[in-house]
Structure 1
Amino acid sequence: MVVFVMLVLLLLVVALLLFMAVILFLLLVVVVVVVALVVLLSLLAVVLLVVVMVVLLLVVVLLLVGGNSGIVVLVVVMLLVVVLVVLLLLLVVVVMVLVVVIVVILLLSVVALLVVVMVVFLLLLVVVVVVVVVVVVVVVLLVVVMVVLLLLVVVLLSMAKMVVVVVGSVVVVVVVVVVVVVVLLVVVMVALLLIVIMLWWSWCCCC
């Protein structure tokens, strides 16, 4: 009888551990998917912002070459409005995703009742926040650089030869875009590496 009770208790413990392992795996999958969505949405916003800025910068250069100063002012205002709208949309998406991540982590962690789960997902949440902050900072820096470049082009067009200024501005824009893409790729790779390390660590803790 005692042996039977011990076996039943052992089976219950094993079942509980399996249940906790399944819950942990599902939590990790959810958070990894959310992190991937945050990174993809941020990259998409940055790419769209770069495309819009480059197109508007080229339009401004062409208008300045043609001597249409009034239209140039209008295009500059449109450029700033587009930049602000893109940044606002990016921040809204980031805040919504972070709220969803926090709610999911809190709800599922209460069900899991594991200290390891709480630690792992808090670390993953920190990774998400760091990635989002870095992406937002990169976007803001990109906007500042592009606006400065735009003003520089306006000044140079009134002082130097048109061909040299156009070529130089295009080269500068290309360099800025390449640097931003490289930085974002490094951020994504670091975030994915941290996620893999945390998944491996949590799996070792469960086993």
Structure 2
Amino acid sequence: MYLVPVSSTVFKNAYPDVVVVVVLVVVVVVVVVVVLVMVVVVAIVVVAIVVSVVLVVVVVVVVVEVVIVVIVVIVLLSLVVVVVVEVVNVVIVVIVLLLLLVVKVLVVLTATVVVVVVVVVVVVAVVVVVVVVVIVVI
């Protein structure tokens, strides 16, 4: 019983089993080649998926790093603002202290002038009283 029509001169005197074996070998070789091609295609697809996942992870890491850099820049700018505010506060305190010093100097000078005027008035009054008493006594 022939499974494959035999027209070649090689197989004219061959047994049907040899034809079946040759066909099976050819089929097995074709199946093995197809399976190997499919394995290579699947391997390429798996590598592409892995590369895609790695790229997504790299993009996420880069985005996270950019966010961290932005946060650090914002914090540094905040620190600069705080330093500027503190410098302004120190300048204001120094100006207030200088004004207080000027006021103290003016108060001391005014008090000194008042004391001198009072002393002069008292001395003049005492001299006037002494002169009046001397004039009255004489």
Highest relative contact order (Cα 8 Å, sep 6+), 1 or 2?
1
TM-score, with length taken from structure 1: 0.32
**TM-score, normalising length: structure 2:** 0.47
Which structure has greater helix proportion? 1
